[in-house]
Amino acid sequence: MHAASVLMRKVLVLNDMVEYQMRRVMGTNETDFQAMQHLMAKGPMTPSQLADALHITTAAVTTVVDRLVRADHARRVPHPLDRRSTMVEPTTHAADLTMSKLMPMIQQTDQLVRDMQPDQQEAVVAYLGGVIQAMEQHIVELAGEQPVVPQLTGKG
């Protein structure tokens, strides 16, 4: 494999490690942290939207939201258009904590690319854009595949 591909794989592994440490710092489990990522990236969401984003049931997302509210990571607010519905949004506390922990790394990596010559920056952007395109295509392909069901042989 090309050195860039090996390094990209290492970035993905390190991202998992960063997320693990962020979950530890925030005192959340993986699902709750994923919920927070969606809320931080997309802003307020209905419980149904959050359930869809997490690929879990609306009943399960209620438990997730309850935990996030108890931990002061999220809060329920009235839906701006539907009085019968609520929205879930990250608290200022959670947003500040997340950004205080991640911003130094974000700024450091941003500075790396800013210190490059324009043609180098373009190459980085082209490569990363291609990685994103390949990953998105692969996600679509995997989504269309049937689940693998183990064959029972009757032998035991």
- The pLDDT assigned to 156 comes to 54
Residues of the chain under the 50 pLDDT cut? none
Give me the phi and psi of 76, to 5 degrees please.
Answer: -90, 135
- The pLDDT assigned to 137 comes to 95
- The pLDDT assigned to 155 comes to 60
pTM, full prediction: 0.82
Q: What is the DSSP string of 104-127?
A: HHHHHHHHHHHTS-HHHHHHHHHH
- The pLDDT assigned to 38 comes to 96
Q: Where are the domains of the chain?
A: 1-92, 100-143
- The pLDDT assigned to 152 comes to 72
Domain 1-92 top-level CATH class? mainly alpha
d(CA 116, CA 125): 12
